[in-house]
Structure 1
Amino acid sequence: MTTSIFAQLKPISYQDGSQKLKGFVAAPAKGNKGGILILPAWKGIDESSKAVAAKLSALGYYAFIADIYGEGNYPADTKAAGKLSSYYKTNYTIYQQRINLAWKELIRAGANPDKIVVIGYCFGGTGALEAARANLPVKGVVSFHGGLGKDPSRAVSAIKPSILVCHGADDPNVPQAQVQAFQQEMRDSKADWQMIYYSNAVHAFTDKSAGNDNSKGAAYNATADKRSWQHFLLFLEEVLR
């Protein structure tokens, strides 16, 4: 991707205690439809998340890409990414705190606090659901091929934000038992939720760098990518109207 595509992205420094964080904000090209908080996949802020922010800016939204790990902690490879993301999944209150701080930066950038949606990819998709479980004051959350599970010992409480889960029908990283437990959690929490399955799609189906070999468990799927984006836009129209 060329640098010009990301020209409107501006780095934003913020902190969680002594931990320095650096996110990116994109102001709407025209108008102001609301704000979208973007939670990146397990390797942290990447070109994919920046491309999403640029697209949303062009559509009239404020977009902020959250820095979950913080300066000095960015993973160098998948092994490190797996270890770090697992830490935040286990220590979910710390994950929720980092998301909350990024939400504040999105508002500080100019987004209407009454018109905000959180979206996330893979590990970030898990984060979007954690934002809903924490009842972050947003209109909705969207998980793209994210993990759905949580510790079963955690209490289930009412969830206020609307939820959209875009899920690969053949994703081997999310076993059926986890899917069933998530759906039961949604029922028990009285959430307004929907879950859409995409055929022939595995994990990371929106990530063009994931290759196209489904047997590896993670692969790009152009059809699922396009359909999930359209479902996301419909969701935005509904919850931000």
Structure 2
Amino acid sequence: MKTITTLVLFITFTMQAQLKTISYTDENQKLEGHLALPQNGLPNKAGVLVLPAWMGVDYNAKENATELAKLGYIAFVADIYGQDKRPKDTNEAGKQAGYFKTNYKEYQKRIQLALDQLVKAGANPDKIAVIGYCFGGTGAIEAARNNLNVQGVVSFHGGLGRDKERTIAPIQPKVLILHGADDFFIPETDIKAFQEEMRKANADWQMVYYADAVHAFTHKDAGNDKSKGVAYNEKAAKRSWQAMKAFFDEILK
């Protein structure tokens, strides 16, 4: 047990050592993101913005930013809620995530502010992608819907719903949706409406389903009880990461 604990602490320390905390603001709201710089960056200085799940900046987002830096990308973990507004539990997380889903223009603004930090850190503004997990996956789609200056977006088990009253405009960024085939938290009506939206928007989109995967299938801390609707699936996590990398090879390199 002591050996395992020491190993976990070492891995955590190593990851944190490669991340730099970045303070920025949205008017009076203080935000705190995390920057991961590659030791051997890509010649075109491509960058990736990471949008966390509904609990806000978490270990999963930081770990993935670190892994992206190892691939040569300049990566930045966005702070959507604010430095002093971290959810204490899932109840608070649901309320805060719900607020930004409803007030999607504010969500899009927070994403843009994070993109500004990514560019400020040295990322090529014409070689950027956005990825997001769960609530962050919804954000990645919002970045595409608002045609932010990104080459493409990737949603890992993200929410697909949108207000039916919203106007569907042409979408320029390429879209990759990585979805659990058994994710019952995302209604079939939302999936069909999303696909129809992509068609009407003339988007270049892909949607990949992963067998035996439910919501949060990339999160190692989600447990393994699939019946709860939230569970880690190692195979789906690895396959979806490979799908993202292939997508980046197409749009960023």
TM-score past 0.5 threshold: yes
| Partner in structure 1 of residue 26 of structure 2 | 16
Query: Is the 1:120–1:142 Cα contact (8 Å) retained in structure 2?
Result: yes
1: CA distance, partners of 2:15 / 2:248:
23
2: CA distance, partners of 1:51 / 1:71:
19
2: CA distance, partners of 1:117 / 1:29:
19
* Matched AA of 1:132: A
1: CA distance, partners of 2:58 / 2:83:
14
| Partner in structure 2 of residue 56 of structure 1 | 68
Residue 139 (1) aligns with residue 136 (2): no
| Partner in structure 1 of residue 211 of structure 2 | 199
Residue 214 (1) aligns with residue 194 (2): no
| Partner in structure 2 of residue 181 of structure 1 | 193
2: CA distance, partners of 1:196 / 1:164:
8
2: CA distance, partners of 1:39 / 1:235:
17
How far the C-alpha of 1:202 sits from its partner, in A, is 0.3
| Partner in structure 2 of residue 36 of structure 1 | 48
For residue 17 of structure 2, the aligned residue among 4, 7, 10 is 7
Query: Is the 2:41–2:74 Cα contact (8 Å) retained in structure 1?
Result: no
Query: Is the 1:29–1:59 Cα contact (8 Å) retained in structure 2?
Result: no
Residue 47 (1) aligns with residue 74 (2): no
Residue 84 (1) aligns with residue 122 (2): no
Any gaps of 5 or more consecutive residues in structure 1? Answer: none
* Matched AA of 1:80: E
| Partner in structure 1 of residue 162 of structure 2 | 150
1: CA distance, partners of 2:181 / 2:187:
11
How far the C-alpha of 1:5 sits from its partner, in A, is 2.0
- Sequence identity, in percent? 59
1: CA distance, partners of 2:123 / 2:57:
20
How far the C-alpha of 1:31 sits from its partner, in A, is 2.4
| Partner in structure 1 of residue 5 of structure 2 | none
| Partner in structure 1 of residue 176 of structure 2 | 164
Q: How many residues align?
A: 241
* Matched AA of 1:169: A
Query: Is the 1:139–1:239 Cα contact (8 Å) retained in structure 2?
Result: yes
1: CA distance, partners of 2:103 / 2:157:
21
How far the C-alpha of 1:29 sits from its partner, in A, is 1.7
TM-score (norm 1): 0.99
How far the C-alpha of 1:71 sits from its partner, in A, is 1.5
Residue 73 (1) aligns with residue 57 (2): no
1: CA distance, partners of 2:226 / 2:14:
32
* Matched AA of 2:67: K
Structure whose CA Rg is larger: 2
| Partner in structure 2 of residue 112 of structure 1 | 124
2: CA distance, partners of 1:139 / 1:207:
25
1: CA distance, partners of 2:145 / 2:184:
24
* Matched AA of 2:176: L
Residue 101 (1) aligns with residue 113 (2): yes
1: CA distance, partners of 2:113 / 2:12:
29
Query: What stretches of structure 1 move > 3 A for 4+ residues in a row?
Result: none
Query: Is the 1:14–1:21 Cα contact (8 Å) retained in structure 2?
Result: yes
2: CA distance, partners of 1:47 / 1:68:
15
